[in-house]
């Protein structure tokens, strides 16, 4: 029994927050939106299968539910591969689609992550590349800076670049308060105006 607890580890994470603008691929999907993102993972050696669920509810009546299934695999101590699929459902529009994805991340001083997916509604890929740099300001406060570039195709392919600033306040091992500021600039798009959002909420880890 003791050996099985060391080999198998279950973890639940939940982030619940308000965001001024719900951004996805440098597009504003909803304004004044309440979000709940949840993940249940089960570590088996180098494999970590995970179930994911996200709910978006905007004060503008926007509503979306996302369901994810995937698995992480530690290729080395620093290199991690994540493969899975998302299912998106949009209540008001009645639209839905699958998005198989592959993500590769490397844990270093600056941690790069490459996310590549295939959106099934138009069979065209989208991809993002980001770099995370985290620094503990105090024993309880951590700052993370993330520059990001990406490309997507919604009838017309376009690119975008921007940055994310994340500030965490660790209450204890289970609860963390956080705030996020994100600014993104599309290019080669029908609308190249800068978009932004700010968010704040609570993360729970069990």
Closest CA to 63 of 29, 19, 107: 29
Closest CA to 30 of 123, 97, 92: 92
Widest Cα–Cα separation across the chain: 59
Beta-strand pair 79-90/47-58? unpaired
pLDDT at position 94 is 75
pLDDT at position 95 is 84
Query: In order along the chain (206 residues), what is the average pLDDT of each group of 10 residues?
Result: 49 97 95 98 94 97 97 96 96 88 95 94 90 96 98 91 98 96 94 96 96
Q: What is the CA radius of gyration of the chain?
A: 18
- Residue 24 near residue 33, CB atoms below 8 Å: no
And the tokens for 149? 């570039």
Give pLDDT tens digits for 99-109.
Answer: 999 999 999 99
Q: Which residues contact 185 (CB under 8 A, 6 or more apart)?
A: 26, 160, 161, 162, 192, 194, 195
Q: Which residues contact 11 (CB under 8 A, 6 or more apart)?
A: 40, 41, 42, 43, 205, 206
pLDDT at position 81 is 98
Phi, psi of 2 (to 5 degrees): -65, -40
pLDDT at position 121 is 80
Phi, psi of 6 (to 5 degrees): -75, -35
Give pLDDT tens digits for 111-129.
Answer: 999 999 998 887 889 999 9
SS3 content of the chain, % helix, strand, coil (to 5): 5, 75, 20
């Amino acid at each position: 029994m003791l050996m099985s607890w060391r080999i198998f580890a279950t973890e639940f994470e939940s982030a619940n927050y308000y965001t001024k603008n719900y951004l996805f691929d440098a597009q504003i999907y909803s304004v004044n939106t309440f979000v709940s993102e949840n993940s249940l993972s089960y570590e088996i050696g180098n494999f970590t299968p995970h179930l994911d669920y996200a709910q978006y509810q905007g004060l503008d009546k926007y509503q979306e539910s996302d369901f994810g299934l995937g698995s992480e695999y530690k290729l080395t101590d620093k290199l991690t591969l994540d493969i899975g699929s998302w299912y998106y459902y949009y209540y008001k529009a009645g639209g839905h689609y699958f998005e198989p994805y592959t993500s590769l991340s490397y844990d270093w001083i600056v941690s790069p992550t490459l996310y590549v997916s295939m959106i099934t509604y138009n069979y065209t890929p989208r991809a993002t590349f980001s770099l995370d740099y985290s620094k503990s300001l105090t024993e309880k406060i951590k700052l993370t800076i993330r520059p990001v570039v990406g490309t997507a195709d919604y009838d017309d392919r376009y690119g975008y670049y921007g940055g994310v600033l994340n500030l965490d306040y660790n209450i204890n091992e289970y609860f963390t308060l956080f705030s996020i500021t994100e600014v993104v600039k599309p290019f080669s798009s029908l609308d190249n105006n800068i978009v932004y959002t700010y968010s704040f909420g609570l993360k729970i880890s069990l």
